[in-house]
Structure 1
Amino acid sequence: MAHAPYAADPELSRGRLYPLRSDGARGPRDEFQRDRDRIVHSIAFRRLRHKTQVFVAPDDDHFRVRLTHSLEVAQIGRTIARALGLNEDLTEALCLAHDLGHPPFGHAGEAALKAAMAEVGGFDHNAHTLRILTRLESPYLHHPGLNLSWEMLEGLAKHNGPVRHPGWALAAIDREWPLDLDTQPSLEAQVAALSDDIAYDNHDIDDGIRAGLLPVEVALEQPLIRETWEAARARWPDCRDDLLLREVIRDQIGRMVGDLIDESRRRIAAAGIVSLSGVRAAGAPLIAFSPAMASAERALKRFMYANLYHHPAQLAVAAQAGRVVAGLAGAYVADPDRLPESWRLTLPDDEPARTRHIGDFIAGMTDRYAIARHREVVGPVEMPDGI
């Protein structure tokens, strides 16, 4: 498929920090296809199947976790990239990798780990994604990290926009290989960021209703949901609510994707963008919802925080999850001999590297591994029932 002139081009990639072997032994793939495949084959990607999306350590096999969410984001991202003539492989790779840096228990775990590491610079899941890919995930014999392309690392570093004040982890990576943090990201990275929003805006509604924390009648108080529901009900007047919900989620994703494609085309044309350098020099994002949809999407987010993410049952689980992460951090900092052997052997002697190393270990844990380690090194922990 022919790409637009402003799409990322693997033939024009700035390359990798460490040169690749060039004998063709690993198959006929371009730079961005290799990036995608390295993500899919990574241990960090596999761990996402046991990391919280919305519900901590969910008992129901049908709830989303970080892995299934990432796959759904990638599907949405590829659809948008194809419609806009962007590079689908880079878009997919960015979508698949965007959540690799999340610690156990989602945002509750991140808040606890950030507090535990406050004296050594804190913790940020986005920067930790880059740290995993450039430092911690090291399956190759001749270099640390996955040795991804510059475009891949740049997109992950600033898919939410230019980074004016990078924290310690991202700053260290940027010093080693500058990622032009003060410019706009590629359109592929911008697509990945909004594909993430579209996916969780809609799929969290589905999971919240399925969990019994977001009753359908409460969900229908939200204007965007109600509008989509009423349109689907008009087409399927006799459909059961649970089946109609699936239609609503599909319809709403379709509405948001279609709006984003139309508005992005308008912005790209209005800005006269004809190259990737023009994208990076633009003073604002070019991938965006229309003003009306952007307003509706912000209202939907506010509704979800009020009625699902901050639901008393969710807050109770989050509080306990935070105690698990804080307890692990305290125990390992106080007695690093409790670390597994491979982490003990690579423990730095000096601060802040020593505590950050312990933070790396905790951040890589899945929910269930964190609970098991807490029971081993701290004491019993019971997550509240009902989730």
Structure 2
Amino acid sequence: MNVYEDADRERWAPEPEKRSSRTDFARDRARVLHSASLRRLAAKTQVVSPGSDDFVRNRLTHSLEVAQVGRELGMALGCDPDVVDAACLAHDIGHPPFGHNGEAALDQVARDIGGFEGNAQTLRLLSRLEAKAAHPDGRSAGLNLTRASLDAATKYPWPRGDAHPRKFGVYEDDLAVFSWLRTGAPDERRCLEAQVMDFADDVAYCVHDVEDAIVAGWLEPSRVLDDAGEREWFALLTQEWYLPEIDVEEILETLDRLRACSFWVEVYDGRRSGLAALKDMTSQLIGRFSEAAQRATHEAYGHGRLTRYAADLCVPHHTRLEVAVLKGLAATYVMTSRDRAETYGDQRELVEELAGQLWDRAPEALEPTFREDWADSAADDARLRVIVDQVASLTDASAYLLHSRLKS
């Protein structure tokens, strides 16, 4: 039986013993749940901007749903549920305002200092920027999570490099904590809990974004399912974004397989019965994907308790295709919508302008915590990273407000 060891419960900065019935991993989950970064996700874009619709998900509701999916799947495999829960709650806290649009803009701002990546920013928040614990010399240790929980939250366990130019999990100046949390881990291999978190993220993302798109009227299921032109457009975009090695015919066959499920919603009319049917579809899809991964993993590794590096999550090929097809539906009818192209451009421009404004007016224009980081920085590269940290911490609304204030 594989169990968690003392090294898995170790924290980067030593802390005094606490008299509590809670486990170390339960405390990790609580620290993430009560963090300021998690609260800010309520006002950060998931797919569409918060406030544009009172039904669609924001980053916080998405993270809560990921945690529910991940916790149950992880527990079924033998992972500590609080480790998986903490990782799922934390997985998006490094994302900046305006979702992936803002991420691309900040990557451009930070191009000369190692770039920007939401997952690398998550590690920076958990281990440095969030206020909770400190090292003996006074340096912030962020939330000071255990090694197991911090490793579980590391979606891409490698720095940026030629082999990983876009997706990476650590900046150069955070390599110390990265090396600590990866002690004993195989190079570039994710622990099982991180794999569960990543899969739960994909499942929640693809299912709920399709639900949001249908309710908002952006996606009419019958149109993409029955119209030849719509089907081709959807299949080609899905292939380009998510399934470059899969031919168009197999993508469309996967879509039709989902359509053949008894719970699939063909028409949504906005009535309570229609919403109930749509909710049932999302539940059935989540169960379908999670149970498939659970069965395949147990078939590969047996039914004992699986943790850390004792196993890899096994997701059947047809399940990965179905998840990607649903992501393709959201991409086709929400993220690439032509009426949003101008808004996306304006958002990227705002983020880049805001970084420039803060640089010109630093340190006075910075929040007190980032002002302190600026004062501790010995070179311009480090100061620019502080600017990026400040912008990344903002919500959509606070980014607009600060940009307006600094522009006046």
Match of 2:2 in 1: 6
Deviations along 1:312-345, one digit per CA (max 9) or x if unpaired, are 1333332221111111012112332432344334
Asked if structure 2 preserves the Cα contact closer than 8 Å seen for 1:86 and 1:188, the reply is: yes
Rounded to whole Å, the distance in 2 between the matches of 1:274 and 1:287 is 13
Rounded to whole Å, the distance in 2 between the matches of 1:275 and 1:245 is 34
Matching of residues 45-60 of structure 1 within 5 Å: 45-60=38-53
Find 1:77's aligned residue among 34, 53, 70: 70
Matching of residues 329-344 of structure 1 within 5 Å: 329-336=355-362, 337-344=364-371
Deviations along 1:199-239, one digit per CA (max 9) or x if unpaired, are 01100011112222222323546435423366578xxxx99
Report the alpha carbon displacement of residue 128 of structure 1 after superposing the two structures with TM.
Answer: 0.6
Rounded to whole Å, the distance in 1 between the matches of 2:305 and 2:216 is 47
Letter of the 1:185 partner, please give it: R
Rounded to whole Å, the distance in 1 between the matches of 2:259 and 2:225 is 5
Structure 2: stretches of 5+ with no match in the other structure: 162-169, 227-254
Q: CA RMSD in A?
A: 2.7
Match of 1:266 in 2: 299
Rounded to whole Å, the distance in 1 between the matches of 2:263 and 2:181 is 52
Letter of the 1:215 partner, please give it: E
Matched, 1:94 2:87: yes
Rounded to whole Å, the distance in 2 between the matches of 1:178 and 1:253 is 31
Find 2:194's aligned residue among 189, 192, 196: 189
Match of 2:221 in 1: 216
Asked if structure 1 preserves the Cα contact closer than 8 Å seen for 2:151 and 2:181, the reply is: no
Match of 1:355 in 2: 384
Rounded to whole Å, the distance in 2 between the matches of 1:89 and 1:49 is 22
Matched, 1:146 2:179: no
Letter of the 2:353 partner, please give it: G
Rounded to whole Å, the distance in 1 between the matches of 2:66 and 2:46 is 13
Distance change >3 Å, CA 12–CA 329, structure 1 → 2: closer
Aligned residues: 360
Matched, 1:252 2:285: yes
Matching of residues 300-315 of structure 1 within 5 Å: 300-315=326-341
Rounded to whole Å, the distance in 2 between the matches of 1:370 and 1:223 is 42
Distance change >3 Å, CA 81–CA 277, structure 1 → 2: closer
Report the alpha carbon displacement of residue 241 of structure 1 after superposing the two structures with TM.
Answer: 3.5
Matching of residues 3-42 of structure 1 within 5 Å: 5-6=1-2, 9=4, 13-24=8-19, 27-42=20-35
- 2:352 alignment partner, SS class: helix
Deviations along 1:264-299, one digit per CA (max 9) or x if unpaired, are 212224xx99875753xx6xxx21321121222223
- 1:13 alignment partner, SS class: helix
TM-score norm. by structure 2 comes to 0.80
Rounded to whole Å, the distance in 1 between the matches of 2:225 and 2:126 is 41
Matched, 1:173 2:206: no
Report the alpha carbon displacement of residue 164 of structure 1 after superposing the two structures with TM.
Answer: 8.0
Matching of residues 236-247 of structure 1 within 5 Å: 240-247=273-280
TM-score norm. by structure 1 comes to 0.84
Asked if structure 1 preserves the Cα contact closer than 8 Å seen for 2:205 and 2:327, the reply is: no
Letter of the 1:346 partner, please give it: D
Report the alpha carbon displacement of residue 130 of structure 1 after superposing the two structures with TM.
Answer: 0.7
Distance change >3 Å, CA 99–CA 275, structure 1 → 2: closer
Letter of the 1:151 partner, please give it: A
Matched, 1:373 2:407: no
Asked if structure 2 preserves the Cα contact closer than 8 Å seen for 1:48 and 1:100, the reply is: yes
Letter of the 1:338 partner, please give it: A
Distance change >3 Å, CA 60–CA 274, structure 1 → 2: closer
Letter of the 1:339 partner, please give it: L
Asked if structure 2 preserves the Cα contact closer than 8 Å seen for 1:128 and 1:169, the reply is: no
Matching of residues 95-174 of structure 1 within 5 Å: 95-140=88-133, 144=140, 145-157=142-154, 159-160=155-156, 165=161, 167-174=171-178
Rounded to whole Å, the distance in 2 between the matches of 1:46 and 1:122 is 25
- 1:29 alignment partner, SS class: coil
Rounded to whole Å, the distance in 2 between the matches of 1:35 and 1:139 is 11
Report the alpha carbon displacement of residue 367 of structure 1 after superposing the two structures with TM.
Answer: 0.8
Rounded to whole Å, the distance in 1 between the matches of 2:385 and 2:160 is 23
Letter of the 2:128 partner, please give it: R
Distance change >3 Å, CA 369–CA 296, structure 1 → 2: same
Rounded to whole Å, the distance in 2 between the matches of 1:370 and 1:106 is 12
Quote the sequence identity (%). Answer: 32
